[in-house]
Amino acid sequence: MNLNERQQYVLWATVRHYIATAEPVGSKTLVDEYNLSVSPATIRNAMGWLEKAGLLYQPHTSAGRIPSDSGYRIYVDKLIKPDDGISRQVEQALSDRLKLENWAFEAVLRGASQILAALSGYIALITMPQTHTACLRHLQLIQIEPRKIMIVVVIDNYQTQSAVMELPESPEDSLVDAEVVDRELQILSNFLNHHLRGQTLAQLSALDWTELGREFERYAEVLSHWLQDLAVRAQTPGKTQILISGVSEVLRQPEFCELTQVQTLIQLLEEEQDQLLPLIFEPPAPEGSGRRVQVRIGAENPLEPIRTCTLVSATYHRGTVPVGSVGVLGPTRMVYENAIAIVEAAADYLSEALSV
């Protein structure tokens, strides 16, 4: 839709004033507060045109006008840009309060969701990394008693998998010294880390065992079986948890004054996350589109409980692979410049955290 310069400015000012006040906006208000060098009648004409175009509407007769979902869409796509100052504030807050070296990645995500909710004033939503994209960070084999070894696998979101495996009996068992076994397990652990570190769990079963000497044959079969089982489990879709913060704050907004609306929203967030996940964890926009952040406004959301809300989201990555997402959910009367900047900065921070 092509708007002339005055129509763009009137739409921008109307949206901006409505976001700040939650009150319908009249032409005189715009003239008084935005120092427009034209008469209220000229502004009324521009607002009337915007209303006919479906970008503004009157909630009731004789009231001022408020933005429609389409009006917000043009405002987001054409009339604003993310606030760089807010981006820096988010980066600083995350760096100051989160300890990447000492915390498990889940703790980092929980801390990040609380910080985003506090800074934005909206509901913060962060998904845990998808299991099938997780990469091996470290593997260790430990002897716990004769013929029994424990394998511990740490993946790059710092979750662990472990199992106790029993080695097949051998006539030489009684002759094998425990210290020899410990040395063999350390050599084998080094071999596995060298070949498997950085691979996804789904790739673990592709290891070529022929490089190992004959003295490791007794370990190879049982380890190969366990790694194949781990790879299969990694490829099985699991329930992805969404970490949520800031619900109580956003529910104080006037848009959430109806109890039934609040109840359906809470039910979606607490009990129906599987429906919400595809909206948050979307594939990134095509390369060259210039869009890193997805913004779903009002009726663009297919789920009824959030059709009066806006969902702003972006994926965070392991290398070039999107593994999770970060977003904020609030009323369509949202400070979009801030919300987009906050989500983008948080996604960048979490991507960096996964590369540490």
Of 68-72, 214-218, 345-349, minimum mean pLDDT range: 214-218
Q: What is the band of 296 on the pLDDT scale with cuts at 50, 70, 90?
A: very high
Q: Is the pLDDT of residue 255 over 50?
A: yes
Residues 313-333, mean pLDDT to the nearest whole number: 90
Q: Which of 174-183, 208-217, 243-252 has the highest mean pLDDT?
A: 243-252
Which CATH code, of 3.30.565.10, 1.10.3080.10, 3.20.20.140, 3.30.390.60, is assigned to 135-235?
3.30.390.60
Domain 5-79: assigned CATH number:
1.10.10.10
Q: What is the band of 289 on the pLDDT scale with cuts at 50, 70, 90?
A: very low
Per-residue pLDDT reduced to its tens digit, 258-280: 888 888 999 999 888 888 888 88
Of 49-53, 235-239, 248-252, 347-351, minimum mean pLDDT range: 235-239
pLDDT value, residue 85: 92
pLDDT value, residue 136: 81
3-state secondary structure the chain: CCCCHHHHHHHHHHHHHHHHHCCCECHHHHHHHCCCCCCHHHHHHHHHHHHHCCCEECCCCCCCEEECHHHHHHHHHHHCCCCHHHHHHHHHHHHHHCCCCCCCHHHHHHHHHHHHHHHHCCEEEEECCCHHHCEEEEEEEEEEECCEEEEEEEECCCCEEEEEEECCCCCCHHHCCHHHHHHHHHHHHHHHHHHHCCCEHHHHHHCCHHHCCHHHHHHHHHHHHHHHHHHHHHHCCCCCCEEEECHHHHCCCHHHCCHHHHHHHHHHHHHCHHHHHHHHCCCCCCCCCCCCCEEEEHHHCCCHHHCCEEEEEEEEEECCEEEEEEEEEEECCCCHHHHHHHHHHHHHHHHHHHHC
pLDDT value, residue 239: 57
Q: Where in the chain is the domain with CATH 3.30.390.60?
A: 135-235
Amino acid symbol at 80: I
Of 172-176, 241-245, 321-325, minimum mean pLDDT range: 172-176
Q: Where in the chain is the domain with CATH 3.30.450.40?
A: 84-130+239-354
Per-residue pLDDT reduced to its tens digit, 40-96: 899 999 999 999 999 999 988 777 899 999 999 999 999 999 889 999 999 999 998
pLDDT value, residue 347: 95
Residues 118-145, mean pLDDT to the nearest whole number: 85
Q: What is the band of 130 on the pLDDT scale with cuts at 50, 70, 90?
A: confident
Residues 214-243, mean pLDDT to the nearest whole number: 71
More confident residue, 169 or 300: 300
Domain 84-130+239-354 is found in CATH 3.30.470.10: no
pLDDT value, residue 115: 95
Q: What is the mean pLDDT of the chain?
A: 84
Q: Are strands 56-57 and 148-155 parallel, antiparallel or unpaired?
A: unpaired
pLDDT value, residue 288: 47
Q: For a pLDDT cut of 70, what percent of the chain falls above it?
A: 85
Of 25-34, 41-50, 133-142, minimum mean pLDDT range: 133-142
pLDDT value, residue 107: 85
pLDDT value, residue 212: 67
Q: For a pLDDT cut of 90, what percent of the chain falls above it?
A: 42
Phi-psi region of 126 (alpha: psi -120 to 50; beta: other; left: phi over 0): beta
Q: Is the pLDDT of residue 30 over 80?
A: yes
Tokens representing 4 are: 């002339």
Q: What is the pTM of this model?
A: 0.74
pLDDT value, residue 281: 83
pLDDT value, residue 176: 63
Q: Where in the chain is the domain with CATH 1.10.10.10?
A: 5-79
